[in-house]
Homo-oligomer: A and B are copies of this chain.
């Protein structure tokens, strides 16, 4: 096997310590070491091969995923992996499966909403996978509006049971991952009805399939909802449909941590505060932000390496052509995405801290930061997943024609990633929530209620409403204070402007609906500020390693100045900066690109992804793109024969003018 590093030159150009950057990216030396160990474990195990995924039919593909999930679980047990290691293993196996929902939603739902007793009963079963669970909330007719769910759970005091029922077609559960073919149990969300009274939506643990023969229990209809975007992609997941025909479950399978139904059928609240559920939401969304930085960094890694390999134009008469990464247009599309990957990584890290902080406060009955934390995670989920989905597709385009081949890894990465914009809250619906929170924040400014956390900058509203940027020359745009002030002023002014316009409506709700497109822009401005400010905060830490901090500073500035250019209309129309200052910022951005250029390949090496995980010929570590693309092509089933199946029936008669009599 050839082992020339075609990117050695690029790696030689880097002016920073890549190994130290790997630690920064991983979060700690411990995580780096662990990730590397598990990544290698997965990459070297033939059972986890994945390069044939796009050529399999749905059934084969799905069976293969079942096999991998079982194999992964077997290895987890055999090697006695810790929870941290096990979850990394699932991550590197890199194939959506029922286990994601089991561990990511079913278990947390029981933990968050189950009583001590319920946890003691169900969690050990789940931990050992003696039962497999999914999260059944969405219905055919009801997604974003959870309060509109139609499934009912009616208490029958005679038998001490709930009757779970799907009264309409639109009440069919629809979308839950792992439901279609695998799950034995589900947390089902349904309207609780006692004594004819509707108490709104609550969670119930419902057994779906027999543990003997895996057949759906009586009164239960289950199926898969069909093929989704992409080839392999999310089609390894059995997103399912589920209907209940008056299915009975014991009363103690309602998740009763916050509210309960007594033996007599009385609906009562426990002394556990309702807000606890927000904790789970913050947790889940924090993992989604972390996933965004993974997915985006993966795409950026592929596009960066390939852009250094690919040469096009600019040769002097037969000499070598220019690497496309040297074109400013390529840099202007690619480097902001590289910067975004790092930015999302750090804001994700911070969200992990936020989750711990929120949890501690909840335990101490301090709910003061909860609405802010909730809005902030909603906004960051929306911002990072939208940017990542768009960014992956842009990376694909940055690879020209070859990016359209599945062997580039990018089409499937896009297809598998993009539902993150929709699940766990449609991104637009989430931004509207952020906007609502911002309007509340503005309206309370006079009231003495102090804005906290990521809205603390509203304290300086007076200054921010009238300040003007002090940037006089391009380099001024490298100063964190200059950048922060511009982003804060833009966000405050957009929020305040919306609030003022809202004030003119007699009916606030109507005003909110009418102005919602503008409100969303204010929410985006606020969320972008959060990402920028968390990047800046990160850089205040001690970051060791030659040149590491310099590189991160460049990326932070690129992230901010790229956004400033992209949303220039905001900054100019609110009078935060002048056209002249905008033009200086742009000059600075261009010069930052030049500084990143020689470090680009090393900056993506720092993600430390194996070729197995990347799953991309264009993104190969060694840059040996062309021979491997060529090799890969021949593996397509269509190349099984030189003359294709169908030639004799359909092509030859055409060529021979014998179609008229042919039976097709």
Interface residues, chain A, with chain B CB atoms under 8 Å away: 47, 54-59, 62-63, 66-67, 69-71, 73-74, 77-78, 128-132, 138, 140-145, 148, 169-170, 172, 175, 180-182, 184, 211, 213-216, 222-231, 234, 238, 241, 311-313, 315, 321, 327-333, 393, 397, 400-401, 403-407, 411, 414-415, 418-419, 421-423, 426-428, 432, 513-518, 520, 565, 567-575, 579, 582-583, 586, 590, 626-627, 629-630, 632-640, 642-647, 649-655, 657, 659-660, 662, 664
Bound Cα distance A639, B315 (Å): 56
Can you give 6 contacting A-B residue pairs, CB < 8 Å?
A: A66-B650, A74-B664, A144-B400, A182-B644, A333-B428, A404-B419
Q: Are B662 and A74 in contact (CB under 8 A)?
A: yes
Interface hub of A69, A241, A633 (most chain B Cβ within 10 A): A633
Contacts of A315 in B (CB 8 A): 148
Contact between A66 and B646, CB atoms less than 8 A apart: yes
The smallest C-beta distance from A392 to any residue of chain B, in angstroms, reads 11
Residue of B nearest to A428 (CB): B329
Which chain B residues border A216 with CB–CB below 8 Å? 642
Q: How far is the CA of A496 from the CA of B217 in the complex (A)?
A: 73
Contact A62 B660 (CB under 8 A): no
Min Cβ gap A339→B in Å is 15
Q: Is the CB of A400 within 8 A of B636?
A: no
Contacts of A66 in B (CB 8 A): 644, 646-647, 649-651
A401 near B422 (CB under 8 angstroms)? yes
Q: In the complex, what distance in Å separates the CA atom of A47 from the CA atom of B422?
A: 36
Q: How far is the CB of A37 from chain B (nearest CB, A)?
A: 22
With A67-B664, A626-B170, A644-B238 known to touch, is A230 a contact of B227 (CB < 8 Å)? no
A47 CB to closest chain B CB (Å) equals: 7
- Known contacts A329-B516, A401-B423; is-contact A655 B144 (Cβ 8 Å): no
Q: Give bound CA distance, A411 to B231, whole Å.
A: 11
Cβ A57 vs Cβ B59 within 8 A = no
Interchain CB contact under 8 A, B63 and A646:
yes
Closest partner residue, chain B, to A148 (CB atom): B321
Whether B213 lies near A169 (C-beta < 8 A) is no
Which residues from chain B contact A515 at a C-beta distance below 8 Å? Answer: 328
Q: Is the CB of B664 within 8 A of A516?
A: no
Q: Which of B393, B426, B635 contacts A226 (CB 8 A)?
A: B635
Q: Are B229 and A411 in contact (CB under 8 A)?
A: yes
Q: Which 5 A-B pairs have the closest CB atoms?
A: A568-B569, A229-B411, A63-B646, A332-B517, A70-B650
Q: What separation, in Å, do the CA atoms of A572 and B573 have in the docked complex?
A: 7
Residues of B within 8 A of A582 (CB): 569, 573
Please report the C-alpha to C-alpha distance between residue A632 and residue B574 in the assembled complex, in whole angstroms.
50
Whether A62 and B646, one on each chain, are in contact in the complex, defined by CB atoms closer than 8 angstroms, is yes
